[in-house]
Amino acid sequence: MSDSPIRRHGIVRGLENVSSSPQFEGRFGRMFRTLPAAKHSEKSLITLGSRMVAEFEANPTPETANPRDDEENTGISAGYTYLGQFIDHDLTFDPASSLQKQNDPDALVDFRTPRFDLDNLYGRGPDDQPYLYDSDGLHMLLGRPLSGNPHDPNPRDLQRNSPAKGPRRAIIGDPRNDENTIVSQLQANFIRFHNRVADILHDQADFSTVQRLVRWHYQWVVLHDFLPTIIGKQTLDQILPSPDKPDLKFYTFKNDPFIPVEFSVAAYRFGHSMVRPIYRLNTTLPDRQVIFSLDPNVPNLTGFREFPDVWAIDWSLFFDFGNKPNPFSKERIQPAYKIDSSLVNPLGSLPPSIASTMPSLAARNLLRGLRMGLPSGQSVAKKMGLPVISDDKLRVGKASEDDTPTNIHLAEIAPEFRGNAPLWYYILAEAQQQFKKDDTPIRLGPVGGRIVGETFVGLLLGDKHSYLRQDPTWKPIEEFTRKGTFGIAELLMQAMKA
């Protein structure tokens, strides 16, 4: 695989060289340092990866009088898949120059502590990257106008370059946020939210004040909207009973917070199972768009290029805006797919712009876990004092009423998986244990939820500039709330006023 796609989509600097030594602290570390690496053969992992990719469906989500798809997760809207991707890019943003990367390829020094600070949005700031900002040094720049969203008076694309040949790529702080059409428009709306806050404050604040408020609103969304949606409010309340009394049982650090590889390479890759094969971007388009396609003649959401002007995303199709649309209409909120041990077929054939030599995302995840020396799911569960899922309950496939009874057992794929499941697979299968009927909401289970929740809370508490550390009683701007609530939907509503 070429370096460029890897750096854009997968491995980030410093992740491939993570020590198990408790004396080492760097950008990445280990949550369970004493657990041995799970032993698996590459052949068995590639076979498992192939079984975790669903078969091709010509029309996977048909639009009928009852459009319900048995793979949809009634508990999580489709937009959270891409909010999760945006958050991941923020945590792993690397602002180092090319010379710093050559001098320090393992990212042992000269990197920023991972924080929820929107460095993927702000880059190095208006003084160092003025081409991201307006001449006033306060507002941020956007690109061409878009159309198609009847609820947004001024949808905008990101700034893009104008090469003589080739695709027009986004000019943004982190190029990975141009990876697909949905995350690129989410980035554009975070820029618009920044401009909205700047407008609200008028001449009362400088750039650093606006930036701090935007970051705190974003951190509020992460803690009070994204986390409860993904891991459940009960798990979050166990981890953070109150802002000043966290209960971090497994995520600890001495000096600066780090990103655990168990989180980065396994637990936080739950979102790959949530990807839908097809999305409706807005109600004015006659067709829905596929997420990826290897056929250049098929319109798709692959990024790192300019998309059609009429593709402005109607965010009420991706998040709950409180308008209670008819669930059998084009205005319905599209759910994410279930968190289970099945990925949609397009993710088995990623485009060359993202993956060249290993197109299966499932196989890539499993092999990466092997290279990182991750422990098995069962050993992590034991270490956390949780019941271990028995082999007869570990199956591979969709969490649906039709598929569940016939899904193959993990141990049938290879005997080496008996009592020894790859951590990424185990976390997906753990969530899948919640399945009862097709309308069952599925969130992360005890192992996956605790790893994700403790990492997020630990990073927030370890950041001396977060609102939890500086002002734990802080609340979002009241004008921005809806019935006392502020989440990603409310943030987008304010962005659309900029």
pLDDT digits (tens, 9 = 90+) for 69-109: 899 999 999 999 999 999 999 998 765 544 444 544 554 44
Residue 4 confidence (pLDDT): 31
Residue 259 confidence (pLDDT): 94
Ranges of residues in the chain whose predicted pLDDT is under 50:
1-9, 22-24, 97-101, 103-104, 107-110
Residue 112 confidence (pLDDT): 53
Residue 157 confidence (pLDDT): 98
Residue 498 confidence (pLDDT): 95
Residue 3 confidence (pLDDT): 32
Residue 435 confidence (pLDDT): 96
Residue 65 confidence (pLDDT): 54
User: Distance (Å, rounded) from C-alpha 353 to C-alpha 416?
Assistant: 34
Tens digits of residue pLDDT in 367-390: 999 999 999 999 999 999 999 999
Residue 323 confidence (pLDDT): 83
Residue 1 confidence (pLDDT): 29
**Reported pTM:** 0.92
Residue 23 confidence (pLDDT): 42
Domains (range + CATH), the chain: 3-495 (1.10.640)
Residue 63 confidence (pLDDT): 67
